[in-house]
Amino acid sequence: MAKPMTKTQLVAALAEAAGTDKKSAGASLDALVSVITTEVSNGGAVTLPGVGKIYCRERPERMVRNPATGEQIKKDADRVVKMTIAKALKDSVNG
């Protein structure tokens, strides 16, 4: 498996693809992350065309097991961030 792209590499690739400088590309990336974080934190969803949909899902209260001791513990309800990958991206990877 290839190593994941770092933020520096991503900013450089964005700057090259958009024909701008790295500072502008970095600011755009930071703004995008901020908008996504705010929207998902407030219970909304963000769709990135061609990439997928990022959303928050509620998980109910449930019983979990401590693997070290085998003890059953009640875990409170919480929220988790999920992402559904777009069909176009899946198809480009598999075909």
Domains of the chain are 1-42 (no CATH), 45-95 (4.10.520.10)
Helix axes 22-41, 7-18, angle to 10 degrees: 110
pLDDT in tens, 6-22: 999 999 999 999 999 99
Q: How many CB atoms lie within 10 A of CB 89?
A: 13
pLDDT in tens, 21-75: 999 999 999 999 999 999 999 999 999 999 999 999 999 999 999 999 999 999 9
Q: Show the tokens assigned to 6.
A: 């770092």
Helix (H), strand (E) at residue 36: helix 22-41
Q: In what order do the strands lie in the sheet with 78-85?
A: 45-48, 52-59, 78-85
pTM score above 0.85: no
